[in-house]
Amino acid sequence: MPMLEVSNLNVYYGDMHVLWDLSFSIEEHEIVALLGANGAGKTTTLKTISGVLRPRSGSIRFKGVELTKLPPHKIAELGIAHIPEGRQLFPWMTVLENLKVAAYTKRARSRLSESLETVYRLFPVLKERSSQLAGTLSGGEQQMLAIARGLVMRPELLMLDEPSLGLAPKLALEVLELVKTLRDEGYTVLLVEQNVHHALRIADRAYIIETGRIVKEGSGEELLRDEEVKRAYLGI
Amino acid sequence: MLVSLADVARAIVSGVLIGSVYSLIAMGLALIWGVMDIINFAQGDFMMLGAFTTYWLLELAGLDPLLSLPVSFALVFALGVLTQRVVIERILQAPMVSQISATFAVLMMIRYGAEAAFGPFTRRVVTSYTGTVLRFSWTTIPLTRAIAFSISLVVAALLYLFLTRTYVGLAIRATSQNRMAASLMGIDIRRMYMLAFGIGVGVSAVGGTLLSTFFPIYPEMGGFFCLIAFIIVVFGGFGSIFGAYISGIIIGVTEAVSALFISPTLKDVVAFLLFIIIILVKPRGLFGARM
């Protein structure tokens, strides 16, 4: 049984139909990338999984539990961490307070000190800045904090929305390498990424979305070699 | 008229003492606004309920105001949670005019409900220490006002510790800074709203209890205090709870000093003028920071 199974999902913004019968699945311990142009429906998909948006029809099952009727905080408690686009930090709270809030759920709170060790090891700069207000961090540091918050939540499924957006190229690569490391450490990852080339290199499998529909799926390697993908997304 | 330095010092002390009570009402208003983006026009009326709780517990049960203070907080907290569930919850996404009308409706129900129940009369909370004064070489301070000031400081400190040192407090602040992110971290936003509204009006009720020990109480008393609290909150910077505390004291002192130099009847005019000037010069308020 897949860890996450999305079937026939239909989502609307008012009268506008944005996701059309979307179906895909994620197995435990894999990186699945969701790729596509701006406005294709990637962010909408993540928001629907995490409960921020409600689908009109269809189902989302996480380890057998139906998510579509649950509010976001219940979904977080089940072990899904959604690291949204644009970092969405608490800007007037310190770095450490941001991390503490991320450990709000029962599953995360008891393991906070262990989690802090882990994220400080991954991002030493966050330890240095732990008493600084999150809003005063640089863009790269903010992105690290956003990812660190996701890890502190102790999720089973980590959903990352454009984690490399706005980062210097070198840092962007490091972030994607980190995603791979996380997979190797046992996390399952759903990755939305604008950098299709890098995403396909680290992804075990990927789905391509166009205007709210899945038009292609395959392993990262297959899609890297796919002529259509090359033309449409890799500029080759 | 000659004003001596001692007169000014006395005015400042008396302004700090009354300002510290304004501050409590304003902090509650700032908390509610910061977390929910709702301006609670009934804030002064929840304060009045706190004052009347103290009055009736003294009259009917002989309970000292200091002992009825937690009761006053708890009762109004519960009423605040109920108001949140029944009224505010439904208008969170509504246009601002509907939000204003809804909290105004709560104001009318509380204010005129109290007037219907208790009559429009002015009452006083009189205890064994009501007339007691603390004598200093240059001034005297009524004991009740000194107590009110001390408790106001303690309540502000407790609120500060709650919001910065506890998980629930952190969650309330997180909700005020980014609702979506907070809910994605597992925070139940509706619960935070209930707590924020309950605590916000509960703190105001504590202000009402303290005020009742030295100020006549009547069902319509909330109007002035809500207005002054609103000014304090805008003055301090919307959403800044501790800015509200400091601003409350500044407004209290401004009133007292202008009563001394200009005229007691014009003291509020000066406070409002100061408010307009601050808004023109610093539209985000004196303390721009959020909670």
Cβ atoms of residues A152 and A119 within 8 Å = yes
A144 and A131 in a single domain? The answer is yes
Chain A residue numbers touching B189 (CB-CB < 8 A): 73
The predicted model gives A109-121 an average pLDDT of 95
Of A52, A76, A89, the CB nearest to B186: A76
Q: In which residue are the tokens 């303390």 written?
A: B287
Whether chain A has a CB inside 8 Å of the CB on B186: the answer is yes
A72 and A169 in a single domain? The answer is yes
Q: Do B184 and A90 touch (CB under 8 A)?
A: no
Domain CATH number, residue A236? 3.40.50.300
Cβ atoms of residues A43 and A94 within 8 Å = no
Q: What is the pLDDT at residue B85?
A: 96
Q: What is the pLDDT at residue A236?
A: 66
A45 and A108 in a single domain? The answer is no
**Taking all residues of chain A, what is their mean pLDDT, rounded to a whole number?**
94
Chain A residue numbers touching B182 (CB-CB < 8 A): 90, 101
Whether chain A has a CB inside 8 Å of the CB on B168: the answer is no
Please give the order of strands across the beta sheet that includes A16-26.
Answer: A16-26, A4-13, A57-62, A65-66
A136 and A72 in a single domain? The answer is no
Torsion of CA B245, B249, B250, B256, to 10 degrees: 160
* CA-based nearest distance A160→chain B, Å: 12
Q: Which residue of A has its CA nearest to B171?
A: A101
Q: Structure tokens of A36? A: 């596509």
In angstroms and rounded to an integer, the radius of gyration of the C-alpha atoms of chain B is 19
Express each pLDDT in A5-15 by its tens digit: 999 999 999 99
Among residues A154, A175, A191, the one where a domain terminates is A154
The predicted model gives A15-26 an average pLDDT of 96
Whether chain B has a CB inside 8 Å of the CB on A183: the answer is no
Of A162, A198, A203, A168, nearest in space to A182 by CA: A203
Domain B5-281 has CATH 3.40.1000: no
Whether chain A has a CB inside 8 Å of the CB on B160: the answer is no
Express each pLDDT in A75-106 by its tens digit: 999 999 999 999 999 999 999 999 999 999 99
Q: Do B174 and A71 touch (CB under 8 A)?
A: no
Q: What is the pLDDT at residue B59?
A: 96
Whether chain A has a CB inside 8 Å of the CB on B290: the answer is yes
Helix (H, G, I), strand (E, B) or coil at A33: strand
A57 and A173 in a single domain? The answer is yes
Q: What is the pLDDT at residue B289?
A: 61
Mean pLDDT by 10 residues, chain B (291 residues): 84 95 96 93 98 98 96 98 96 93 97 96 95 90 96 97 96 96 97 97 98 97 94 83 92 92 85 84 75 67
Of B170, B180, B290, the CB nearest to A84: B180
Q: In which residue are the tokens 């310190």 written?
A: A94
Among residues A129, A154, A179, the one where a domain terminates is A154
Q: Name the phi and psi angles at A16, rounded to 5.
A: -85, 125
Among residues A154, A172, A188, the one where a domain terminates is A154
A162 and A228 in a single domain? The answer is yes
∠ Cα A225 A227 A231 (to 5°):
115
Number of structural domains, chain A?
Answer: 2
Query: A interface mutation test: which of B35, B93, B178, B185 has the most A CBs within 10 A?
Result: B185
Whether chain B has a CB inside 8 Å of the CB on A92: the answer is yes
Q: What is the pLDDT at residue B291?
A: 67
Q: What is the pLDDT at residue B278?
A: 82
Q: Do B184 and A92 touch (CB under 8 A)?
A: no
A3 and A30 in a single domain? The answer is yes
A94 and A67 in a single domain? The answer is no
A24 and A43 in a single domain? The answer is yes
Domain segments of chain B: what residues? 5-281
Q: Name the phi and psi angles at A23, rounded to 5.
A: -135, 130
Cα–Cα distance measured from residue B191 to residue B187, given in angstroms and rounded to the nearest whole number: 8
Of A71, A90, A105, the CB nearest to B181: A90
Cβ atoms of residues A54 and A229 within 8 Å = no
Taking 90 as the threshold, does the pLDDT of residue A229 lie above it?
A: no
What ipTM did this prediction achieve? 0.94
Q: Do B185 and A101 touch (CB under 8 A)?
A: yes
Count of residues making up chain B? 291
Q: What is the pLDDT at residue B67?
A: 96
Structural domain of residue A101, as residue ranges? 86-154
Q: What is the pLDDT at residue B1?
A: 61
A27 and A69 in a single domain? The answer is yes
Query: B interface mutation test: which of A87, A94, A101, A157 has the most B CBs within 10 A?
Result: A101
Q: Do B186 and A90 touch (CB under 8 A)?
A: no
Taking 90 as the threshold, does the pLDDT of residue A136 lie above it?
A: yes
Strand partners, A16: A13
